[in-house]
Amino acid sequence: MYNLQIVTQSPFDADLCWQAVLSRDRSEDGHFFLGVLTTGIFCRPSCPARRPKRENVRFYPSPEAARRDGLRPCKRCRPEAGADPRATRIEELCAHIRAEAGSGEPLTLEALAERAGMSPSHFQRTFREVVGVTPRQFVEACRLEALKQGLKAGESVTDAIYDAGFGSASRVYERTDTRLGMTPGAYRAGGKGVAISWAATDTPLGRMMIAATDRGLCFVQFGESDQALLERLRAEYPAATLEPSPEPRPAAFEGWMAALRSHLEGLEPLPELPLDVRASAFQLMVWRYLQSIPRGEVRSYSEVAQAIGRPKAARAVARACATNRAALVVPCHRVIRGDGDLGGYRWGLERKQRLLAAERGGGGRRAVR
């Protein structure tokens, strides 16, 4: 008979632990263990056995803590066996990249592969499998994050660029169109001087407003009225110059609006549209991954966190989804909770439910009704 006096003090969030169990999140293996009181065993979060009822589960920081309460290890998932050494090695290397992104240390594929003890080809394949992006993309995201922190701290543009580990200013400006959202100078000034055109249209999900700079879409949102949407646009870009798109609209702008309307009406899949958004490197990493989720599929917040190499950042992933400014273009509606609940959606859960139902039920030819 095992002891039912389970420890109640825990260094982790029980709700997040339960979400990891429901989604069988492998990235949490080793971070905590679940004990099942009705069977007297303890398991990994990713154990493939049938999920127990929540009221019969307790969480432990170590196998020793579970054993002290009279529980025995599961023979199916073997919770006391070592973690995947590849994932552990890559996670350690990600921490090294974040720490050294602005130090000037060479972070080439060859240098990183040597540090990981792998051939470059094997390292690149393993890194992408574990993290979800290439080593180069991860390094650049970390350097862009360092650049933004420097700009916010008041450094000159030139100093911030070199302190972030970029070898030249031209390399940064080549990437700002799709990753920084605007040039470093404009970002530091809060978007001052950036011209944004907007227009609103009716869709099956209600009134939709899109807004764009000369580089791409910076705002795609739903609302109850044009005035409410315009106020939201001003709140998002308080230092920018906002003007309604002139008639006739520029061909590119009209094409983006037509593509979004056609997508919502179920006539065409949404093509890749250019984005010009203000965001942190972490937000951009999350949004880029969301764009890779196939139509009709969903991921949990924990699964997204694991895929981008931040397995403990499920809450930060949820915040990145909540701050998405470009509905549909960045399909944050495809992210749900680990227990299958829809979670949040800044434009209303009814819209999220209708979008998912249309994507799951009609391929590319079902309208959102």
Mean per-residue pLDDT, 74-79: 84
Closest CA to 307 of 288, 322, 294: 288
- For residue 108, pLDDT over 70 is answered with yes
Under 8 Å between Cβ of 292 and 305: no
217-223 and 206-212 strand pairing: antiparallel
Cα–Cα dist 17/315, whole Å: 12
- For residue 183, pLDDT over 70 is answered with no
Q: pLDDT band for position 28 (50/70/90)? A: confident
- What tens digit of pLDDT does each residue of 146-169 get? 666 665 555 554 555 555 545 444
Give me the long-range contacts of 134-142 (CB less than 8 A, separation at least 24): 135/97, 135/109, 136/109, 138/94, 138/97, 138/309, 139/97, 139/101, 139/107, 140/175, 140/179, 141/179, 141/281, 141/282, 141/284, 141/285, 142/97, 142/98, 142/101, 142/281
What is the structure's pLDDT at 9? 33
Cα–Cα dist 219/237, whole Å: 10
- For residue 326, pLDDT over 50 is answered with yes
Closest CA to 145 of 282, 278, 322, 313: 282
Mean per-residue pLDDT, 17-35: 85
Whether the ω angle into residue 248 lies within 30 degrees of 0, i.e. cis, is: yes
What is the structure's pLDDT at 176? 46
Q: How far is CA 25 from CA 35, 183, 307, in A?
A: 16, 38, 11
Q: Is 260 exposed, middle or buried (0-12, 13-18, 19+ CB in 10 A)?
A: buried
Residues annotated catalytic, as ranges? 43, 332
What is the structure's pLDDT at 155? 57
- For residue 177, pLDDT over 50 is answered with no
Closest CA to 144 of 124, 121, 156, 160: 160
Q: pLDDT band for position 346 (50/70/90)? A: very high
Cα–Cα dist 276/282, whole Å: 16
Q: Is 53 exposed, middle or buried (0-12, 13-18, 19+ CB in 10 A)?
A: exposed
Mean per-residue pLDDT, 256-261: 92
- For residue 229, pLDDT over 80 is answered with yes
Single-letter amino acid code for the residue at 93? L
Under 8 Å between Cβ of 278 and 284: no
The two tokens of residue 110 are 């060859």
- For residue 35, pLDDT over 90 is answered with yes
Cα–Cα dist 121/109, whole Å: 9
- What tens digit of pLDDT does each residue of 290-304 get? 988 988 899 999 999
Closest CA to 180 of 204, 159, 164, 202: 164
What is the structure's pLDDT at 90? 79
What is the structure's pLDDT at 350? 94
